[in-house]
Structure 1
Amino acid sequence: MQAPRLYVSLLVLAGAIQLIQAQRSQPQDPGPRKGPAGAGGFYPTLNTNERAAFANGIGQFVQKEGVPDTPPGSGNGGLGPGFNSDSCSSCHAQPATLGSSPANNPQIAAASAMGAINTIPSFIQPHGPVREARFVRKADGRADGGVHNLFTIAGRTDAPGCNLQQPDFAAELAAHNVVFRIPTPLFGLGLVENTPDYVLIANLRAKSDRKSDLGIEGRFNTSGNDGTISKFGWKAQNKSLNIFAGEAYNVEMGITNDMMPNERNVIMGCIFNATPEDSHSAASNGISDVDAFVDAMRLSAPPTPAPGNASTESGQKLFNRVGCALCHSETLSTSPSTLTGMSFVVYHPFSDLALHHMGVGLADGLIQGAAGPDEFRTAPLWGVGQRLFFLHDGRTSNLLEAIRAHASAGSEGNRVIDNFKELSPAQQQEILEFLRSL
Structure 2
Amino acid sequence: MSFARASQVAVAGFLLAILFPWMEAGSQIAPPFKAHDPGARKTPSRSGTAFKELPHVEHQLFIDGHRVFNEAASVQGTAPATRSGLGPRFNLDSCGGCHAHPHLGGTSPLVNPQVELATREGATNEIPPFIAVDGPVRVARFKFPQDGKQEDGVQALFTISGRSDAPGCFLQQPNFRRAAALNNLSFRIPTPMFGAGLIEAIDDAAILANMRADSARKFASGIRGRANGAGRPNTNEHDHTVSRFGWKAQVKSIELFVAQAFNVEQGITTDLFPQEVEEAAACRFTMTPESTVHMDAGTPLDALSDVVKASLFVRFLAPPEPLPETDSIVRGRGLFGEVGCAMCHTPMLRTGNVAHPFLRDQEVRLYSDLLLHNMGPGLADDITQGDARGDEFRTAPLWGLSDRFFLLHDGRTKDLVEAITAHAGRGDWRYPASEANESVARFNRLTEIDKQHVLNFLRGL
Same fold (TM over 0.5): yes
Say if 2:278 is the partner of 1:265.
yes
2:319 equivalent in structure 1:
302
Could you list the per-position Cα deviations for residues 177-236 of structure 1 after superposition, in whole angstroms to 9, with x for gaps in the alignment? 110000000011111111000000011111111111110000221111111000000000
Instruction: Pick from 238, 250, 263 the counterpart of residue 225 of structure 1.
Output: 238
1:248 equivalent in structure 2:
261
The alpha-carbon distance between structure 1 residues 61 and 140, as it changes in their structure 2 partners (threshold 3 A), is: closer
Instruction: Pick from 147, 166, 177 the counterpart of residue 170 of structure 1.
Output: 177
Could you list the per-position Cα deviations for residues 141-162 of structure 1 after superposition, in whole angstroms to 9, with x for gaps in the alignment? 9972000110100010010111
1:3 equivalent in structure 2:
none
1:9 equivalent in structure 2:
none
Instruction: Pick from 441, 453, 456 the counterpart of residue 418 of structure 1.
Output: 441
* 2:63 partner amino acid: A
Displacement of 1:280 in angstroms is 2.3
Residues 75 and 277, structure 1, Cα contact 8 Å, conserved in 2: no
CA distance in 1, matches of 2:100, 2:27: 41
2:31 equivalent in structure 1:
21
Residues 199 and 364, structure 2, Cα contact 8 Å, conserved in 1: no
CA distance in 1, matches of 2:343, 2:28: 38
Displacement of 1:258 in angstroms is 1.1
CA distance in 1, matches of 2:26, 2:273: 60
1:315 equivalent in structure 2:
332
Instruction: Pick from 289, 303, 307 the counterpart of residue 276 of structure 1.
Output: 289
Say if 2:76 is the partner of 1:53.
no
CA RMSD of aligned residues (A): 2.0
Instruction: Pick from 177, 188, 191 the counterpart of residue 181 of structure 1.
Output: 188
Structure 1: runs of 5+ lacking an equivalent: 1-12
Say if 2:460 is the partner of 1:437.
yes
Say if 2:400 is the partner of 1:400.
no
Say if 2:404 is the partner of 1:387.
yes
Say if 2:251 is the partner of 1:238.
yes
CA distance in 1, matches of 2:143, 2:134: 26
* Higher mean C-alpha deviation, range 208-217 or range 277-286: 277-286
Displacement of 1:437 in angstroms is 0.6
Displacement of 1:279 in angstroms is 2.1
Aligned to 1:33, what secondary structure does the other structure show? coil
| Structure-2-length-normalised TM-score | 0.88
The correspondence of residues 30-429 of structure 1 with structure 2, limited to 5 A, is 30-69=38-77, 76-139=83-146, 144-219=151-226, 220-281=233-294, 282=297, 285-409=302-426, 410-429=433-452
Residues 47 and 340, structure 1, Cα contact 8 Å, conserved in 2: no
Q: How many residues were matched structurally?
A: 422
CA distance in 2, matches of 1:285, 1:279: 11
CA distance in 2, matches of 1:149, 1:91: 14
Aligned to 2:359, what secondary structure does the other structure show? coil
* 2:245 partner amino acid: F
CA distance in 2, matches of 1:28, 1:208: 32
| Structure-1-length-normalised TM-score | 0.93
Residues 38 and 383, structure 1, Cα contact 8 Å, conserved in 2: no
Aligned to 2:206, what secondary structure does the other structure show? helix
Could you list the per-position Cα deviations for residues 338-392 of structure 1 after superposition, in whole angstroms to 9, with x for gaps in the alignment? 2132211112000000000000000011111110110000000000011010111
* 1:266 partner amino acid: E
Displacement of 1:268 in angstroms is 2.8
Aligned to 1:133, what secondary structure does the other structure show? strand
CA distance in 1, matches of 2:31, 2:183: 41
CA distance in 2, matches of 1:291, 1:297: 10
Displacement of 1:14 in angstroms is 8.0
* Higher mean C-alpha deviation, range 29-38 or range 89-98: 29-38
Residues 197 and 315, structure 2, Cα contact 8 Å, conserved in 1: yes
